[in-house]
Structure 1
Amino acid sequence: MSAVAATVAGSDATTRVRPGSGVLRAVLGNKKALAGAIMLLIFLVAAIAPGLFTSIRHPDTHKFAQLLPPGSGHILGTNAFGQDIWAQLVYGTRQSLFVAVVAGALASILSIIVGVSAAYLGGLGDDLLSLLTDVFLVIPAFPLIIVIAAYAGGGSMLVVIGVLVVTGWSYGARQLRAQAMSLRNRDFLESARVRGERRSYVIVFEILPTMVSLIAANFLGAALYALLTAAGLQFIGLGNSSTDSWGTMLHWAQSNEALQTGQQWWVIAPGLCIALLGASFALLNYAFDEISNPALRPVRRRKVRK
């Protein structure tokens, strides 16, 4: 009996994988997810160290001649204010990415609290939390965002993030509740209840580790929603128009009729960056889909020796 136990222990030790290796393997094994990770890494580097991409430190105050065409001195030319469009684009990465990540993370945390708690508690608690989720699901999101941002003073970044969190958690909460409902009566949860573990312990240490891939996918979806919605708010003038972000670039470009006056890169560049960053979030979802659903993993054919 001891020999069998030793064999099992040895096999467990040899097959044990490091935490996070499944995610890394899924990203590296999926071309779409790898492309998304590379794009996201480029944006992260630009947000952390914009000086690697441009020598201009203050694009809003560093003025040049107006309406210069793209060239060696100005990659994307200058706008109607004499500002370098490329420098604005690089420095705008930080705020756009910050809003997307922070709002997406906070919305995901709220989704976890509401969705998983509702599924595990059951009864009246589940009914009340599910009703709250349904109310936010059926409310038209963007008109509500405009109203809240306008009355709360949309120029503040904290207000924009708060509005995005309040309006962006319900869809993820519904998904997490459905997944947690399927786990509620599993044997490992019953054994935790028999041991007398607290509800908070069961939720944090028993349920959530089995839902990591779904939580990560919900975070990416919430971050994508926050990115696009924040850019939309800034475009219509409900953001702080004096800060550097892709949405404010589009706002000022539209206000100065950029497309009609030959300043097309003032519009195309931030719009393209928003699309690429959103695409990186969407492409990374393929990796987490593979983790949560093995049927989606690509089948590698073995070469048959002749």
Structure 2
Amino acid sequence: MPEQTTATQTPAGAPGSVVDESAGGGVPTATTTAPAPAGTPAARRKIRFRKPSAKLVVGLSLLGAIVLFALFGPLIGQFDPRDSSNPALVPPDSTYWMGTTSLGYDVFAQLAVGARTSLFVGITAGLLAVTLSILFGVVAGYVGGWTDEVLYTIIGVMLVIPGLPLAIVISTLVPGRSALLVAAILGVTGWAGSAVVLRKQAQSLRNRDYVAASRIAGERPLRIVAVEILPNLLPLLTAQFLFGVIFAILGEAGLSYLGLGPTGSISWGTILNEAQAGGALTRGAWWWFIPPGILIALVGTSLALINFSIDEVINPKLRAAPAAARSVRKAREARDEQSKEATA
């Protein structure tokens, strides 16, 4: 009697099935599930998926929390930021969540409104700095010739002049300073460093084959810069923008601490200036100056972490550096253990 075999049957030709045609005249006798080929969509999705960087997650979480505080903090605050009818120098309690100043201003309300001003100054100055760095750096690097010489001379002059002292001088000469004007001052004084980096990258990209093909096809230089070069510089532009935002927020805080910030506006820097003028440190009113300092530090930390994660994407060596360091450390530990065993 012929030997009976039991096998799991699947339809012939089904995806992922292997048909054994060695017996039975090509009738499927046994099937097995084969792994998906490397070129299938499922395999491509598995290859492309990468666990997000811890720096990126922490940075986005911190920045998102601060943005939510800026958006909804003034709405949930109990007092007006300029209401001086409250008792002076009250420490944080259930009524005044972050205490009051020497003039009776609610610190929580001032922090929430100041977050809007500080973030507005930072984002506006960052966008202006990136725009100027593109106009001078990318255009100079792609066009070359006398245009490059003229634009790079302007970049060199802006690099020689210190940014923050120049912003202090300009702010001193302008009596009435709005938040937009302070952002413009910080953006104009903080773009030169980014322009140098973008110029070098544009000089490298203009010699690529696809850029040369666009020139041969008769494309205009402006379209080549916008379509062929700028998309390849997008990660670098994002990093430069984040750096510009950090510089602008810290610069605005420094100008406001010196009394040269936006007049008539509340920002984290103006809160620090009022705390210094009101003797918050000598009076022990820690709730007056520590919260704005912490918020400025958290914004800088979050943007720096996001910037580091972008650098890891741009430079694979940075992404592989932690794993390489761990492997070197493990190799050293194994070598030390072997030497100890040999000595024993």
Which of the five TM-score ranges fits, normalised by the shorter chain?
A: 0.7 to 0.9
- For the 8 Å contact 1:108–1:218, the answer to whether it is kept is yes
Larger gyration radius, structure 1 or structure 2 = 2
CA deviation after TM superposition for structure 1 residue 79, in Å? 1.1
**TM-aligned CA distance change 1:35 to 1:156, over 3 Å:** same
Is 1:208 aligned to 2:235, yes or no?
no
Scaled by the length of structure 1, the TM-score of the pair is 0.86
Q: 3-state SS of the aligned residue for 1:67?
A: coil
Matched with 2:78 is 56
2:115 pairs with 1:93? yes
- Counterpart among 205, 209, 220 of residue 187 in structure 1: 209
SS of the residue corresponding to residue 42 of structure 1 reads: helix
Encode CA deviations 1:228-256: one digit per residue, 9 max, x unaligned.
Answer: 00111111111234322101101110111
Matches for 1:1-306 after TM superposition, within 5 Å: 29-51=52-74, 54-56=76-78, 58-61=80-83, 63-153=85-175, 155-298=177-320
Q: CA deviation at 1:85?
A: 1.1
Aligned partner letter, 1:155: R
1:44 partner amino acid: V
Q: Is the 8 A contact 1:116 1:180 kept in 2?
A: yes
Return closer, same or farther for 1:170/1:16 CA change in 2, 3 Å cut-off. Answer: farther
Deviations 1:16-40 (A, max 9, x none): 99xxxx9xx78x6211221111111
Would you say how many aligned residue pairs link Structure 1 and Structure 2?
284
- Residue 99 of structure 1 aligns to which amino acid in structure 2? V
Query: Per the alignment, do residues 157 and 15 of structure 1 end up closer, same or farther by CA in structure 2, a change over 3 Å counting?
Result: farther
Q: Deviations over 1:107-161 (max 9, x none)?
A: 1111111100000010100011111001100112222111111112352222211
**Contact map agreement 1:89 1:245 (CA 8 A) in 2:** yes
d(CA) in 2 for partners of 1:254, 1:273:
17
Give the Å deviation of 1:197: 0.4
Letter of the structure 2 residue corresponding to residue 277 of structure 1: V
What is the alpha-carbon distance in structure 2 between the residues aligned to residue 62 and residue 50 of structure 1? 19
Structure 1: which 5+ runs fail to align? 1-10, 302-306
Question: Which letter maps to 1:30?
Answer: S
In structure 2, the CA distance between the partners of 1:119 and 1:272, relative to structure 1 (3 Å rule), is: same
Alpha-carbon distance in 2 for matches of 1:61, 1:15? 61
Are residues 51 and 229 of structure 1, via their aligned partners in 2, closer, same or farther at CA, if it must alter by over 3 Å? closer
In structure 2, do the counterparts of structure 1 residues 254 and 86 end up closer, same or farther at CA, with 3 Å as the change threshold?
same
CA shift for structure 1 position 265: 1.5
Q: Distance in 2 between matches of 1:154 and 1:105?
A: 23
| Inter-partner Cα distance in structure 2 for 1:236 and 1:96 | 16
Tell me the C-alpha RMSD between the 2 structures: 2.3
Is the 8 Å Cα contact of residues 214 and 224 (structure 2) preserved in structure 1?
yes
Q: Specify the alignment match of 1:5 in structure 2.
A: none
The answer for the alignment partner of 2:339 in structure 1 is none
Q: How many Å apart are 1:15 and its aligned residue? A: 8.7
Tell me: CA distance 1:263–1:199, structure 2 relative to 1, closer, same or farther (3 Å). Answer: same
Higher RCO, 1 vs 2 (CA within 8 Å, ≥6 residues apart):
1
Change (3 A) 1:209 1:251: same
Distance 1:263 1:215, change over 3 A: same
- Give me the whole-angstrom Cα distance separating, in 2, the residues matched to 1:96 and 1:143: 20
